[in-house]
Chains A and B, each alone.
Chain A
Amino acid sequence: MSDIDPITLAVLAGRMEQIADEMDATLFRAAFNPIIAEAHDASHGLYHAASGDTLVQGKSGLPIFVGVMSFAVKAVIDKAAAEGDLADGDIFIFNDAHLGGTHLSDMRLVRPYFRDGELFCYLASVGHWHDVGGAVPGNYNPAATDAFAEAFVLPPVRLARAGQVNQDIIDILLRNTRLPQSAMGDLNGQLGALDLGVKRLDELLDEYGAETVRAALDALSHRAEALMRSELQSLPDGRWEAEDFLDNDGITDTPLPIRVALEIKGDRMVLDFDGTAPRCAGPVNIALPTAVATAYVAIKHVFPALPANAGVMRPIDVRIPEGSLLSAEFPAPVGGYTETILRMIDVIFSAMAKAAPQRVVANAYGTINALSIAGKRSNGQPWVMFSFYGGGHGGTPEGDGLNHGNAPISTATIPPMEILEAAYPVMFRQWALRPDSAGAGAHRGGLGAVYEIEVLEENGAEAFLFGERGRFSPQGVAGGEESALNVFSYQQDDGWHHPPMASKMRGIRLKQGQAVRLETPGGGGYGPARERDPQSVAHDVAMGYLSAEEATRHYGNAWQEVQK
């Protein structure tokens, strides 16, 4: 490793982060589909020329992509090595989740970056496309039993060879989506982001020289590793376990255990998921890259100051058992990966809380609740309202959890109710906090939400839900209690019903005037409920966050003595 002075290193660290950030911003602005434009379900970065390791990644992209992108680059490196003809101006494209992680909706573009005829690094762009074929519009198919029912599968192929775009690939892509215009818009946006990355890297290398930048990249990786080691060193040695369950896979109604054993020894850590359920029939499987990336996300939530650099993972051994639903092989369905990785994060937090309770927060609501309501208008025009819904965050060592937050794997905001009502024939009867949904604790969880949505269209509509936490509540930590379950109900002529599989259901027929109701979990509590200040309990009752009955059940009577 060549030496680099600390000043240049600090300056270059900022400059390279800015390149990745600027690539993010470029795609968010240009993207056609709101999942990228509004929810920022995309990511960009710079990756190591030989290993594909993450060197720098944009700060505004989706958290889960921090870590998963390097697998996409590795897949391209493997292909290029096998074929031996990598050239400047090549651009690879694919959505194969078993190679690149997450799910098939995420379209990955990888572009080698050459300097003076030599491969310097890779640039990559990933974005969640609105539709990539498959059986269900939007690709969230709760009944999929293989990848083919979820979407078309594109392995890494060259979209461009030595700067020449291959129109054939674009033609194939556009013929395999229900929304070709949106897909073309997003593809252009991603290509634009990569072009911009190349231009900025050129400028940076002109200014500082390739040697200096390469030295800085090495130093940053070592620094990331040193940071991680020093954090691990500050934790006690030992081995701690945690388990939690998925409700079911949407096909068979059997709980699926997710287990972790966390072991810390000096400056190293092992996360061993032995004992986790085997590969299942439905789409809550995930591919190995996703599992490893999820460990990264959980760790970065525990140590937020760590950089998005692969060096962080060097002292950490993530052990994923073969044949488990965390390492499902092609063509296992992985469309519901969000639910599984949220549960992985929950068990890592729960295990870590036993090691160092002051470093961790309690479980968040733990399900993205993908709810779709669709139908045809009287003029024959089809409509699909598809959104994810929020819930409470876990109590923290410092205070109560956040009410109605977004999922730890995402930074997406929810579309405004008025935008949804203007676009689709629905009316929200309720869009509110859900009382009694938070886990009790010295610091309680944040509250979940209630959304009740009535169909206004005279032709009625059909609803489907892909959720979790209908049978197993988000857990508290450090003695805190669990929060309320996820409850979904739908209205029929004879009253309200619940889905037989609790959190997943398709084909719910709704007439005009009938509604669905989603009551989402709060966050788990932090610390024993008996340690909660009675004043805070009384305040929660006065605000209607907590009923008097539940207050007494969890916290005893002391709150009633508090002077208002």
Chain B
Amino acid sequence: MSGRMIGVDVGGTFTDVFVLDEETGTASVAKVPTTRPDQSGGFLDGINRQVSDLSSVAVVVHGTTAGTNALLERKGARIGVITTQGLRDVLEMRRRDRPRTWGLRGDFTPVVPRDLRLEVPERTLADGTIHTPVDLGAVRAAAQTLLDQGCAAVAILFANAYANPENEARAVEAVRALWPNPHVSASSEILPEIREYERFSTTALNAYLQPEVSGYIDRLETALKGGGFGGEFMIVQSNGGVMSVDTACRLPVRTALSGPAAGVIAASYIAQTAGFPDVITGDMGGTSFDVSLIAGGQSMLSPQTAIDFGMVVRTPMIEITTIGAGGGSIAWVDKGGLLNIGPESAGSNPGPVAYGLGNDRPTVTDANVVLGRIDAENPIGGKLDRLDVDAAARAIDTHIGAPLGLSTVEAAEAILRVANSRMAGAIRLVSIERGFDPKRFAFMPFGGGGALHSGAMMADVGIGRAIVPRHPGVTSAMGCVIADMRQDFVQTINTFVDQMDETALTAFMQDHVDQGMAILDAARTRFDAREVVVELDMAYLGQTHTVAVPLPITLDGTRVTPPTREEIAQAFDAAYAATYGRLLPNGTRRVMNLRTAVIGKRPKFDLSTLAPSGGSVADAHKGSRRVHFGDAWHDTAIYDRLSLPIGARIEGPAILEQPDTTVLIEPGLVGTTDRFGNTIIERTGD
């Protein structure tokens, strides 16, 4: 395959397009405003700016927030539920939690109203025995009622369907026979895993997204084809792998964290290529700081997330920890005299005080502006001609300086120190608390604002170095082009190792592998290699938290060689000892779930195609301005970052600017341009 590969990431404010020409080895990027409510406008506009003839494009990969937004804004379809007698309220009852520990306020509205959750006689027991066969007449009647009520999709949610899907499968067949569109989601197809609320919620949210997301994908695909595109169109999943549009339309719930996941994938690849397999990424946006840890080139996956209170999605996702400390986060002093940052945010509209759009409370960005770290004359984002430094300073004086008895500059430094300390806390959370020593890691900021804070992260957490990618503002779009194709499967087994039926386990594995390989076979993209990863969720009897146990399996072609009980027991002991230090003598080992990932490795592009060619430090030097660091103003050199040559070594204090990012090199640090155009920031002494 040759031709162009395009990655498109649609974010809240900007749509980023990354175009890689495999033949010429060149890459180009574009940033256009995101269009709302229909994001396809910005999507196509972005592509058209870079590529006139879509027939030359082999692959388009899309990281999308369409699903996330539909969930957060409750803009999914009107859907119905058909469920087991007695269980219509599971979705609304959740796991008996509450939105916040303190205050006892806030309620919850499920995505399916109670009158569209219909019960039918049927019951399967936990051991898979059918207690009551499904009443198909009642199922058909329920489906008809939901259609009459205007439902565009339906979710079928039966108790214990993970243990035996028969009742549910018969109901699904009956519903599919009369449902006028493909939007029928079944809990045992989406997530055959024990825990009814998590399974029902994931399945219902899938149904809720299906009409919306498949409509959106259809519009994009039609428009791409209309422009002459004849290649493959794929979507990034929350697990950081891509899937075909057919799979995406069937399993839209897997796109819940599509965009951020692509960013982490790119960060991982960039860092590894540059020689840093251990990296902590920090994406600083307007309202939040998203942190993710990559160890040995592998990003961490978490099994589930709550998109909002009561909106649980259980599919493997790249683990991203979010704290409410973004550029727009508001700084304030509480009644007890303590300086706080966030969680309230001015977002991007009205945004920081300096934007002059009506906010008068100081934000983290305002502190950066007042201290000269952000160029007030050339604001990022392009909407404004210049930033209002005086207004930002007044807001900082009024809200922070006066109550704490600090000068403007001291107060601005205080805001940054507290914000940095919260961000550092998030990094400690993902590293130290999980037994990773952050000193071993590099910090990689991406997004617009992260590179202003990398020096602070190094100082606060003890991280050794930071690596700022060449194009930190389009990392997610680049990740789309890099990501592998990946399908995840799960099946609850729930048995003791010494009583395990190896044939049954092997059959499930084989089924997962067959399904995954079929999806890879159907893809029109090229794979360098195929990989199957099998894990068992295991624990000792009596424990509730399971340990992920990697199971080395061998494939004969695509035939799975069955593992023995002894191999499983040994694998558990090894994983358990690695997690908890020591084994439990006489403990009964239990297998809860089987998880299989089938991965098609996509060809990687050569990152050196992004590297600068030529240039000189002198030419890149744009001038200087006064910037405040620590307790003094420093005359600080300003460079055009993209014009710096490979090997350029810039000692702090300095600022490297590019259209969508400001890179801060603090006194005592040095930034070196590596052979891929990344800036490696280290302590001068190191």
Contacts and interface: CB of A to CB of B under 8 A. Distances in A.
A33 B95 CA distance: 18
A6 B338 contact: yes
Nearest to A225: B336
A393, A405, A433 — most chain B CB neighbours (10 Å): A405
Interface string A379-421: 0000000000110011010111111111010011110111101
B123 A32 contact: no
Contacts of A431: 86-87, 89-90, 93
Contacts of B542: 32-33, 181-182
B348 interface: no
Interface stretch (A139-147, A299-307, A322-330): A299-307
A452 B86 contact: yes
Interface in A359-375: 361, 364
Contact of A7 (B115, B335, B339, B422): B339
Interface in B395-430: 404, 406, 413-414, 417-418, 421-422, 425, 428-429
B103 A446 contact: no
A10 B545 contact: no
B102 to A, nearest CB: 4
A400 B109 CA distance: 11
Contacts of B194: 416, 418-419, 422
Contacts of A59: 101
A542 interface: yes
Contacts of B336: 222-224, 226-227, 230, 307
B633 interface: no
Chain A, interface size category, equals 35 or more
Interface in A280-334: 300-301, 304-305, 307
B334 A18 contact: no
A390 B89 CA distance: 13
B37 interface: no
A417 B101 contact: no
Interface stretch (A22-30, A113-121, A155-163, A463-471): A22-30
B197 interface: yes
A418 B103 contact: no
B384 interface: no
Given A22-B433, A37-B545, A227-B336, A402 B580 contact: no
Q: Is the interface of B mostly helix, strand, loop or mixed?
A: loop
Interface string B115-126: 100000001011
A305 B433 CA distance: 26
A2 to B, nearest CB: 16
A10 B433 contact: no
A7 B414 CA distance: 6
Nearest to A17: B425
B104 interface: yes
B494 A422 contact: yes
A430 interface: yes
Nearest to A18: B425
Contact of B105 (A9, A22, A396): A396
A234 B264 CA distance: 47
A298 to B, nearest CB: 10
Contacts of A456: 125
Contacts, number: 191
B544 A38 contact: yes
Contacts of A223: 336-338
Contacts of B189: none
Contact of A29 (B108, B125, B406, B545): B545
Nearest to B88: A432
A472 interface: no
A37 B108 CA distance: 25
B97 A403 contact: no
Contact of B421 (A10, A230, A545): A10
Contacts of B93: 390, 403-404, 431-433, 449
B100, B126, B494 — most chain A CB neighbours (10 Å): B126
A541 B97 CA distance: 25
B219 interface: no
A545 B114 contact: yes
B131 interface: yes
A175 interface: no
A240 interface: no
Interface string B582-620: 001001000000000000000000000000000000000
Contacts of B428: 18
A9 B339 CA distance: 9
A476 to B, nearest CB: 14
A404 B89 CA distance: 10
Contacts of B334: 227, 305
A6 B96 contact: no
Interface in A178-199: 181-182, 185
Contacts of A11: 417-418, 421
A301 B102 CA distance: 5
A142 B542 CA distance: 25
B61 to A, nearest CB: 36
Contacts of B97: 405-406, 411, 413
A244 B368 CA distance: 55
Given A14-B422, A416-B197, A452-B86, A427 B96 contact: no
B511 interface: no
B123 A427 contact: yes
Kindly list the 3 A-B residue pairs having the minimum CB-CB distance in the complex, ordered from nearest.
A223-B336, A390-B96, A304-B102
5 contacts: A6-B339, A32-B543, A403-B108, A422-B126, A433-B92
Given A18-B428, A403-B108, A406-B97, 18 more contacts: A6-B339, A37-B543, A222-B336, A227-B336, A364-B104, A399-B107, A403-B107, A404-B93, A414-B96, A416-B194, A417-B159, A418-B162, A421-B125, A427-B123, A430-B86, A431-B90, A542-B115, A544-B114
Interface of A: 6-7, 9-11, 13-15, 18, 22, 25-26, 29-30, 32-34, 37-38, 59, 63, 181-182, 185, 220, 222-224, 226-227, 230-231, 300-301, 304-305, 307, 361, 364, 389-390, 393-394, 396, 398-406, 408, 411-414, 416-419, 421-422, 427-433, 446, 449, 452, 456, 542-545
